[in-house]
Amino acid sequence: MIKNADYQALDTVAEKIINGLELTDDNLREFLSLNEEEDIQKLHYVARKVRDHFFGNRVFLYSFVYFSTYCKNNCAFCYYNRCNKIQRYRLDLDEIRRLAQAIKKESIHMVDLTMGEDPYFHNYPERFIDVVKTVKEETGLPIMISPGVMDDNTLNRLHESGANFLALYQETHDKELYRKLRVGQSFEERKHAREFARNNGYCVEDGILTGVGNDIDSTIISLRGMQKGNPDMVRVMTFVPQEGTPLELVSQESSLSELKIISVLRLMFPDKLIPASLDLEGIDGMVHRLNAGANVVTSIISSDSSLEGVVNYDRELEERDRDSRSVIKRLRSMGMEPASQDDFNRIIEKQQVTPILVPVAAL
Ligand code: SF4
């Protein structure tokens, strides 16, 4: 489909995808196996064509607030896992309110409220509900929550309090690999929380890691697993070994595989939100990810913020350039523009009314 194709043939591939062509596993295998630079650029070209058809040159921006780095879990890949002897913080409600007031002045479309599975909030969900209410009250913006697995009742209460989006990454839909990554956590409970949220008024985001024990077959299992959940946003991130974790000494792959998977996600989920995270390679990495077919910039943090990211490529750097002004300046140099808030609200309103269809046999 891509190898040996000229640009006219690539335009035809993009058109077929726009008109509803579904990729087979053989197509996915072909795309994920590409390793010549020229072929990979062709894959990105088709992905951009498809993205531009649905979104033009408009990009969405999410602000990232990591308000508690405490966690009761022990994910093998994560810097914040409970066994890692690191300095942690938890913001109180006044600090979160002040942060929300600052965010209101930034040009962003949604606030992402992230925490580890912190027992302070998980055992007393009303504390988290207060956080959501406060941020909604101060910003009036759509809110994404990334709190880990929460029960159905709490998810409903959070939604009533102003949460619009649930981000809950499976990391992999390959169950054997899941056991090694999300040590001691239920695969099904995680999947259920996303499904429940999707059927009860939320938009949902699923995500996978690459470069950590996933070969092409395992990646295809994950891509198909994500597809079954009908998510509104789909993410892939390159595994980065983190100091003090069991996977600290695993060597890090380049972002090549992530960029290919972003393009494949665009071809599988043509009209969905796909992020270019600033958390891995900063603003230069954002450009590569947008050129691979992404249409959302995530992990925007004000230049004067001392809060954590998740992977934190800039943990050791004195200056960060992940504020919305730097992002918008770079977007414009690429011929792209921030979308309007109305554009974003329309997308989440439309997606919130499309429930997951449960196959009859499963009823
Ligand atoms: S990935 Fe999330 S749940 Fe797992 S250890 Fe890190 S913060 Fe906790």
- Which CATH fold would you assign to the domain 22-351? TIM Barrel (3.20.20)
Instruction: Look at ligand 1, atom 5, and give the residue with the nearest C-alpha.
Output: 81
Residue 311, ligand 1, Cβ within 6 A: no
What DSSP letter does each residue of 57-122 carry, written as one string? TEEEEEEEEEEE---S---TT-TTSTTS-----B--HHHHHHHHHHHTTS--SEEEEEE---HHHH
For residues 7-34, give the mean pLDDT: 97
Q: How far is the CA of 77 from the centre of ligand 1 (A)?
A: 8
**Does pLDDT of 355 surpass 90?**
no
pLDDT of amino acid 47: 98
Stretch 7-25: mean pLDDT: 97
d(CA 55, CA 359): 30
Given the CA of residue 148, which atom of ligand 1 is nearest to it? 3
Comparing 21-25, 187-191, 316-320, the range with the smallest average pLDDT is 316-320
Question: 100 CB less than 6 Å from ligand 1?
Answer: no
**Measured from the CA of 182, which atom of ligand 1 is nearest?**
4
Tally of CA atoms within 13 A in the half-sphere of 255 that contains its CB: 19
Residue nearest to atom 2 of ligand 1 (CA): 116
CB 323 within 8 A of CB 300: yes
Report the amino acid identity of residue 168: L
Ligand 1 pocket, residue 148 CB under 6 Å:
yes
Task: Give, rounded to a whole angstrom, the gap between the first and last alpha carbons of the chain.
Answer: 38
Residue whose Cα lies nearest atom 4 of ligand 1: it is 75
DSSP class of residue 361 equals G
Which pair of structure tokens corresponds to residue 357?
């269809």
- The model's pLDDT over 56-109, given as tens digits with 9 standing for 90+, comes to 999 999 999 999 999 999 999 999 999 999 999 999 999 999 999 999 988 999
Residue 147 alpha carbon to ligand 1 centre in Å: 9
Domain boundaries along the sequence of the chain: 22-351
pLDDT of amino acid 360? 44
Q: What is the pLDDT of residues 287-312, one digit of tens each?
A: 999 999 999 999 998 766 667 666 56
Report helix, strand or coil for 30: helix
User: Ligand 1 centre and the CA of 331: distance in Å?
Assistant: 31
- Mean pLDDT computed over every residue of the chain: 92
